[in-house]
Amino acid sequence: MKHKWIYALLAIALLVAMVPTAPASAAPAGAAMACAKDYTVNAGDTLSAIAEKEYGSITAYWPIMAATNAKHLTDASYAKIENPDLIEPGWKLCIPSTTDAEAFLKAFPGRDTPTGVAMLFGEGAKGQLIVASWWTNGGEFAGLNEMFKMFKEANPDVEIVNAAIAGGAGTNFKGQLLSQLLGGVAPDTFQLHAGWEADTYDPGVLITNVDDAYARNKLESVFPPTLLSMLKFKDHYWGVPVNIHRSNVLWYNKALFEKAGITAPPTTWDEFFAAADKLKAAGIAPVALGGKDGFELQHTFETILAGSMTAEEYAGLWTGKTSWNSPKVTAALETFKKYLSYANEDHAALTWAAATQLLIDGKAAMNIMGDWANGQFISGNFTDYGWAPVPGTKGTFVALSDSFALPTKAPDPVNANLWLDLAGSKAAQEAFNKQKGSICARTDCDYSSFNAYLQSAAKDWTADSIVPSVTHGAAAKPSWATKGYADAVNLFATSGDVAAAQAALVAAAADAGYPQ
Amino acid sequence: MTATAPTRKASRFHWTRILIYALLIVFAIWFLMPVYVLLMASLKSQAEAMQMQNMWLPPRILGIRSFLIAWFGSNEPPATLGLEQGFWNSVMLVIPATIISTLIGSINGYVLAKWKFRGADFLFTLMLFGMFLPYQSILIPLVVTYQNFTKFTGIPLFATIPGLVVAHVIYGIPICTLIFRNYYAQLPTEMIEAARIDGANFFSIYRRILLPLSQPAFVVVVIWQFTSIWNDFLFGITLANTPKVYPITVSLNNIAGSFHVPYNVQMAAALITAIPPLLLYIFLGRYFIRGLMAGSLKG
Amino acid sequence: MSTSPQAIGSYTETALPKKRWLSRQNWERIVSILILLPSIIALGIFVYAFIAWTGFISLTAWNSAAPDFTFVGLQNYARIFIGSGTDAIRFRYDIRNEVGFLILFVGGSVIFGFLLATLLDRKIRGESVFRSIFLFPMAISFVVTGVAWRWVLTPGTQETGWVGINLLVTNLGLGGLRSGWFTDPTILFIRPDTALGQFLHSIGLGFIAAPDFGYAVAMSSIVLAAGWQMVGYTMALYLAGIRSIPDELREAARIDGATEWQVYRHVIIPLLRPVTLTVIIILAHIALKIFDLVYSMTGGVSAGFATDVPALNMWKTTFDATKFAQGASIAIILLLMVGVLIIPYLIWQTRSEAS
């Protein structure tokens, strides 16, 4: 805004500087074609019509566009075709031979792909890349910046716009993004939890499937099958995943455990509460909980729920196979209630990060949170922590995955696809996840430079049964997860009324289309 | 109480005076407390700000790094986006919106005060309801209209600064009209009558007689609109939720509503957001108070 | 509609030649209407048509991202009013919180605003300094207020350390003043087994003796923050009102032997009645519309929705959970609540001005 003048001057300076030096960019595919003849556009001509006349196909105009643009770079008398639908009378076009044209078409992967763009324009990507996420700060923001850096190196002419919106687990982000998509002011790509969350954005209408990006980068062979099945929604892929998070982790402060004489992390809830009592007796706050945004409570309850039944039964809760009337749900509610009684009283004022900070500061001993807490430990240079699966969930990996999606109205699908290619790459995933504190979506990442927790998580990811997380958008219809289920848990956290909460959970499931 | 109060009452007089001052000072402390806490936190380093037990103490080492991070953002820990973009967006929004709504309010007020036609009062009452409207009750149609306006007309309203200006201007019409109407209504009609006899018409009366007298009303409305548009959050978050256009209140919420940003940066961001209307308040305070009066319908 | 004395229309019979005069008057009438027309059309659409549109949406099945205008009658209203579903519980809590907030915020602001005004009216040295201090929060965004007060009122705990005001009062040796602030899930209500509860029961109002008709203690924190911002405003209005009362009136009362208290009781307060009405209306409608403050201070969800309010619920239901029709129904209820308050006031204003 205030730099407008500076930018304008810079732009003029650049233009002036560029005139004498003819661009010598990497040999574009179009340059390989000689002009069989030149053609001057007449009024009423379209590229399709010319292509039909020359090659007998109305869709074979790409070689003409590529060859003309390639010529334009060295000979300004040839036109520059930005948009194949817009040609003007008087333009000089270069028409390659039929053989050249056929060879070109065979190699041409389509206009929306980075390679395709290079072939058409003989130069790298330009313009903007708008990336929307809810990673506004901390390790996740640092991780995103790593990816920006890599993208910038590969595509120096693209301006990256960070369109982040804050909010825990995307609480504010999703609604605002939906509003943007409906209003047609989409970003080029945005953060999407793998799974049911795609349903928020009317898949196929507001977002486009990214099956092409999978095919182009052969992603189906580098992501584990469990993840692929989580990603596939309505038979398509809607996002390229960058990471895997585990949500059922119990974190503890080793020094405080030692102080209270606890030797091993609890594996059952009985052990957990025994340990909590010991901590309390030693004058240490046993549990740090953040509850300000509500999702922290839903998250905790979800992991308790997963621990109170088999992985299969748990997954069945969200597909109508397991009844919410089950006594196991009752037991989980009881456990959750007891867990809350050990938590810091001011949990309603704290975000999950503030609660994690209590652990780092040695003010509380244990905390159930997803392994994004690990990212906070990394950025806070805190190493004296231990971890274990949430009691009862050994062998179960409650998973969520952050992916990048492609809005139908992405202003620059070319750059968006470049971003998706990057997001799926090994180098980007390693750089991103080290900062973010998560493991790679790919199976071939090198974990040797990751911290101990991540190495263990990577191992569990291959060995455990995987269930998708509901709080984080993977397992259930969005309105069920963010309203029916969420409100029931939030109400229960203060009322402590088990019967009412279970009734509300049953009603929420019925609302979502699974009458119990 | 005046100086002529009988001496017999002097001691009691003294006692109540002390009580009054004591009360006033207690209230003043109460009003300044959040500002104090904000200032103290924002002038501390991150490490110092994290020591909650010292949150009421002044910083041991004064620093303004938190303000720099809050403004520019930072890629290093504590990595965060800054307020800069939101601040300039708000500036670009608030200036045209204030000017346009003030002008509309002035001419509307002129008509409603001096050119009443049959049903004018009724229309005015209908307009006034817009001032009290809970915006939630028009929000969905507003967003939908904005979203589709581009589709049907090619004119982008949704997620653009001009779009936000339009919303603020329209929903600002009632209050601006009200203030000007009340102001013009108290100007003597005889003056206008005389001008009419001298041959002045509708526009020349406005231009030559009312406008030169309107300066106080203009200041009041400008201050009022500036503050309420600058401070708006709801329209910002629903109509302009991309970083290219979102106003500073949304930027602030992005910084303060997230998890990892240390308190010193959050508080610095809050202070920066509050500064422009506060400056206006400090320098034009008496008009500000008049604006408050005017905002209460009767003047 | 009657015209007020200021209106030009009543002064038209002047000495100008009649024919020209009429045509000029007509022309000017047309111009004046034309000038108002854009504003009227804009408000007609952006206020009244949009309200109708919201009303229509609230009767449809549009409860996901894709619009669905199937007519479902009052189903969306039933969901928030009837039964024991979470939507109904949450909405009942919203109303409970809102009513508690409304009463305490308006009442508190009126009392403290009036108190400050009377204190400042005492020929205070440094009056303008005090006035500025009391009034400056009015210039600040509710979002800033929310951020600041969240920081001041975060309670902390014994084990993890006290924070904010709790820390301050503990350090001052006033530990008894500690509170859970906005995290306190306590609901104060009339217990059915108390004398008052029994009495209510006996007159058929037993349903009032229940938590749904109680007061959520956490709302007190919102009252504090909102009051901090608006008390100065109330004070300014009262101060202007007090100052507009002629000194002779007070002097006369004093000469008649009235004590200072009686002067207030019988002269000043009655004369300030219109100001009080205005203050109450303005504050009450701010209270009903309150959104930004709660959004930035507590988010509304925590402590079992102890600080949730209808405006926030509407926003979250609509834009976070994408239940547009459900959100529209809450919006309509909110509008009705504001309307009940504002419409009689507007009518009264217009009438009293006209007469």
**Residues A64-90: pLDDT tens digits?**
888 888 787 778 788 888 777 778 888
Per-residue pLDDT, averaged over A427-452, amounts to 90
What pLDDT, on a 0 to 100 scale, did the predictor assign at position A125?
Answer: 73
Which pLDDT band holds residue B295 (cuts at 50, 70, 90)?
Answer: low
Does A288 contact C at CB distance below 8 Å? yes
Supply C176's token pair: 């008894």
Q: Do B79 and A354 touch (CB under 8 A)?
A: no
Does C67 contact A at CB distance below 8 Å? no
Supply A106's token pair: 């065979």
> Strands A396-400, A465-468: parallel, antiparallel or unpaired by DSSP?
parallel
What pLDDT, on a 0 to 100 scale, did the predictor assign at position B299?
Answer: 35
Binding partners of C (≥3 Cβ pairs within 8 A) = A, B
Higher pLDDT, A121 or B187: B187
Q: Do A185 and B159 touch (CB under 8 A)?
A: yes
Report yes or no for ipTM above 0.90: no
Nearest chain C residue to B132 by CA distance is C285
Share of chain A above pLDDT 70, in %: 91
Its domain, for residue C237, covers 83-308
- Out of B80, B156, B242, whose CB is closest to A180? B242
Supply B258's token pair: 């997230």
Count up the domains in chain C and report the number: 2
For residue C150, give the nearest of A494, B34, A353 by alpha carbon. Answer: B34
Give the count of beta carbons closer than 10 Å to the beta carbon of residue A6.
9
Chain A interface, best mutation among C87, C97, C157, C181, by max A CB count within 10 A? C157
Which pLDDT band holds residue B3 (cuts at 50, 70, 90)?
Answer: very low
For residue A439, give the nearest of A227, A217, A133 by alpha carbon. Answer: A227
CA–CA separation, A488 vs A471, rounded Å? Answer: 13
- pLDDT of residue A99 exceeding 80, the answer is yes
Nearest chain B residue to A378 by CA distance is B77
For residue C188, what is the DSSP state?
A: E
- pLDDT of residue A167 exceeding 80, the answer is no
Q: What pLDDT digit, counting tens, does each position of C167-185 carry?
A: 999 999 988 888 889 988 8
CA–CA separation, B257 vs C324, rounded Å? Answer: 24
Q: What pLDDT digit, counting tens, does each position of C57-88 carry?
A: 999 999 887 888 999 999 999 999 987 788 99
- Out of C57, C152, C328, whose CB is closest to B34? C152
C-alpha neighbours within 13 Å on the C-beta side of residue A258: 7
Do C45 and C119 fall within a single domain? no
Please give the biggest Cα pair distance in chain C. 90
CA–CA separation, B86 vs B67, rounded Å? Answer: 15
- pLDDT of residue C9 exceeding 70, the answer is no
CA–CA separation, A163 vs A186, rounded Å? Answer: 10
Which pLDDT band holds residue A23 (cuts at 50, 70, 90)?
Answer: very low
Host H or E run for residue A397: strand A396-400
Coil vs helix vs strand at C265 = helix
CA–CA separation, A473 vs C50, rounded Å? Answer: 33
CA–CA separation, A238 vs C179, rounded Å? Answer: 48
- pLDDT of residue C7 exceeding 60, the answer is no
Give residues with Cβ within 8 angstroms of A238, minimum separation 6. Answer: A192, A198, A203, A207, A209, A210, A231, A403, A405
Q: What pLDDT digit, counting tens, does each position of C109-153 carry?
A: 999 999 999 999 888 888 889 988 998 998 899 999 999 999 899
Cα distance between the two ends of chain C: 11
For chain B, give every domain's residue range: 84-249+276-294
Q: Do C228 and B31 touch (CB under 8 A)?
A: yes
Do C123 and C44 fall within a single domain? no
- pLDDT of residue A252 exceeding 90, the answer is yes
Give residues with Cβ within 8 angstroms of A456, minimum separation 6. Answer: A387
Average pLDDT, chain A: 85
Do C136 and C203 fall within a single domain? yes
Decide if C343 is inside a domain.
no
Q: Do B21 and C47 touch (CB under 8 A)?
A: no
Task: Using alpha carbons, list the distances in angstroms from residue C57 to A205, A231, C77, C80, C287.
Answer: 22, 33, 12, 15, 25
Supply B202's token pair: 């509708």
Do C100 and C48 fall within a single domain? no
Per-residue pLDDT, averaged over A161-172, amounts to 70
What pLDDT, on a 0 to 100 scale, did the predictor assign at position B79?
Answer: 64
Query: How buried is residue C188: exposed, middle or buried, by Cβ count under 10 Å (0-12/13-18/19+)?
Result: exposed
Please tell me the least confidently modeled range out of A45-59, A340-354, B91-105, B135-149: A45-59
Decide if C114 is inside a domain.
yes
Chain C residues with CB-CB distance to B138 below 8 A: 46-47, 50-51, 54
- pLDDT of residue A300 exceeding 90, the answer is yes
SS3 string of A359-389?
Answer: HHCCCEEEEEECCHHHHHHHHCCCCCEEEEE
Assign residue C245 the CATH number of its domain: 1.10.3720.10
Contact in structure between A389 and A396 (CB atoms under 8 Å): yes
CA–CA separation, C176 vs C3, rounded Å? Answer: 61
Backbone phi, psi, residue A116, to 5°: -60, -40
Does C303 contact A at CB distance below 8 Å? yes
Please tell me the least confidently modeled range out of A180-189, B124-133, B225-234: A180-189
Give the count of beta carbons closer than 10 Å to the beta carbon of residue A187.
28
- pLDDT of residue C291 exceeding 90, the answer is yes
For residue B40, give the nearest of B51, B31, B24, B30 by alpha carbon. Answer: B51
What pLDDT, on a 0 to 100 scale, did the predictor assign at position A2?
Answer: 43
Q: Do B52 and C130 touch (CB under 8 A)?
A: no
Query: Looking at chain B, how many residues does it have?
Result: 299
Does C40 contact B at CB distance below 8 Å? yes
C-alpha neighbours within 13 Å on the C-beta side of residue A139: 20
Q: Do C47 and B130 touch (CB under 8 A)?
A: yes
Q: What pLDDT digit, counting tens, does each position of C222-268 carry?
A: 999 999 999 998 998 899 888 888 888 888 888 888 888 888 888 88
Chain A from 317 to 376: CB within 8 A of any C CB:
344-350, 358, 363-364
Supply C238's token pair: 């009262």
What pLDDT, on a 0 to 100 scale, did the predictor assign at position A278?
Answer: 94
Does A182 contact C at CB distance below 8 Å? yes
Q: Do A487 and C86 touch (CB under 8 A)?
A: yes
Which pLDDT band holds residue A13 (cuts at 50, 70, 90)?
Answer: very low
Do C47 and C152 fall within a single domain? no
Q: Do A161 and B243 touch (CB under 8 A)?
A: yes
Q: What pLDDT digit, counting tens, does each position of C188-216 carry?
A: 998 888 888 889 888 888 888 888 889 99
Binding partners of A (≥3 Cβ pairs within 8 A) = B, C
Q: Do B79 and A145 touch (CB under 8 A)?
A: yes
Nearest chain B residue to C52 by CA distance is B138
Per-residue pLDDT, averaged over B104-115, amounts to 91
Contact in structure between A475 and A318 (CB atoms under 8 Å): yes
Do C90 and C44 fall within a single domain? no
- pLDDT of residue A16 exceeding 60, the answer is no
Chain C residues with CB-CB distance to A347 below 8 A: 183, 302
Do C265 and C129 fall within a single domain? yes
Chain centroid, CA B172 distance in Å: 12
Chain B interface, best mutation among A6, A7, A133, A137, by max B CB count within 10 A? A137
Looking at the complex, report in whole angstroms how far the Cα of residue A222 sits from the nearest Cα belonging to chain B: 31
Cα distance between the two ends of chain B: 28
Q: What pLDDT digit, counting tens, does each position of A342-383 carry?
A: 999 888 888 888 899 899 999 999 999 998 888 888 878 899
Q: Do C85 and A507 touch (CB under 8 A)?
A: yes
Q: Do C183 and A503 touch (CB under 8 A)?
A: no
Query: How buried is residue C109: exposed, middle or buried, by Cβ count under 10 Å (0-12/13-18/19+)?
Result: buried
CA–CA separation, B274 vs B266, rounded Å? Answer: 13
What pLDDT, on a 0 to 100 scale, did the predictor assign at position A168?
Answer: 54
CA–CA separation, B298 vs C4, rounded Å? Answer: 15
Do C100 and C215 fall within a single domain? yes
For residue A468, give the nearest of A222, A175, A233, A164 by alpha carbon. Answer: A233
Q: What pLDDT digit, counting tens, does each position of A384-422 carry?
A: 999 999 999 999 999 999 999 999 989 888 889 889 999
Share of chain C above pLDDT 90, in %: 47
Does B19 contact C at CB distance below 8 Å? no
Supply C144's token pair: 């800033």
Q: Tell me the fold of B84-249+276-294.
A: MetI-like fold (1.10.3720)
Q: What pLDDT digit, counting tens, does each position of B228-240 carry?
A: 999 999 999 888 8
DSSP letters for A304-355: HHHHTS-HHHHHHHTTTSS-TT-HHHHHHHHHHHHHHHTB-GGGGG--HHHH
- Out of A164, A184, A187, whose CB is closest to B151? A184
Per-residue pLDDT, averaged over A433-440, amounts to 89
Please tell me the least confidently modeled range out of A245-259, B258-272, C272-286: B258-272
Residue with tokens 């080793």: A254
Decide if C46 is inside a domain.
yes
What pLDDT, on a 0 to 100 scale, did the predictor assign at position B5?
Answer: 44
Do C302 and C222 fall within a single domain? yes
What pLDDT, on a 0 to 100 scale, did the predictor assign at position B292?
Answer: 62
> Strands C161-162, C156-157: parallel, antiparallel or unpaired by DSSP?
antiparallel
What pLDDT, on a 0 to 100 scale, did the predictor assign at position C293?
Answer: 94
Looking at the complex, report in whole angstroms how far the Cα of residue A168 sits from the nearest Cα belonging to chain B: 7
Chain centroid, CA B237 distance in Å: 17
Coil vs helix vs strand at C66 = coil
Give residues with Cβ within 8 angstroms of B222, minimum separation 6. Answer: B98, B102
Q: Do B28 and C4 touch (CB under 8 A)?
A: no
Q: What pLDDT digit, counting tens, does each position of B151-210 carry?
A: 788 888 888 999 999 999 999 999 999 989 988 888 888 888 888 888 888 888 888 888
Nearest chain A residue to C305 by CA distance is A491
Q: Do A136 and B77 touch (CB under 8 A)?
A: no
Binding partners of B (≥3 Cβ pairs within 8 A) = A, C
Q: Do B288 and C139 touch (CB under 8 A)?
A: yes
DSSP letters for chain B: --TTS-GGGHHHHHHHHHHHHHHHHHHHHHHHHHHHHHHHHHTS-HHHHT-GGGTTSPPSS---HHHHHHHH-BSSSS-B--SHHHHHHHHHHHHHHHHHHHHHHHHHHHHHHHS--TTHHHHHHHHHHHHH--THHHHHHHHHHHHHHHHHHS---TTSHHHHHHHHHHHHHHHHHHHHHHHHHTS-HHHHHHHHHTT--HHHHIIIIIHHH-HHHHHHHHHHHHHHHHH--HHHHHH--STTT--HHHHHHHHHTSSSS-HHHHHHHHHHHHHHHHHHHHHSHHHHHHHHHHTTS--
- pLDDT of residue C159 exceeding 90, the answer is no
CA–CA separation, B44 vs A333, rounded Å? Answer: 43
Nearest chain C residue to A479 by CA distance is C321
Interface contacts (A, C; CB < 8 Å)? 126
Contact in structure between C153 and C296 (CB atoms under 8 Å): no
What pLDDT, on a 0 to 100 scale, did the predictor assign at position B290?
Answer: 66
What pLDDT, on a 0 to 100 scale, did the predictor assign at position C219?
Answer: 94
What pLDDT, on a 0 to 100 scale, did the predictor assign at position A322?
Answer: 92
CA–CA separation, A454 vs C168, rounded Å? Answer: 41
Chain A residues with CB-CB distance to B259 below 8 A: 137-138, 168, 351-354
Domains plus CATH for chain A?
28-121 (no CATH), 128-244+401-447 (3.40.190.10), 249-399+470-511 (3.40.190.10)
CA–CA separation, A102 vs A197, rounded Å? Answer: 42
Do C199 and C247 fall within a single domain? yes
What pLDDT, on a 0 to 100 scale, did the predictor assign at position C21?
Answer: 53
Do C143 and C250 fall within a single domain? yes
Per-residue pLDDT, averaged over C280-289, amounts to 92
Host H or E run for residue C51: helix C50-57
Do C208 and C172 fall within a single domain? yes
Looking at the complex, report in whole angstroms how far the Cα of residue C100 sits from the nearest Cα belonging to chain A: 19
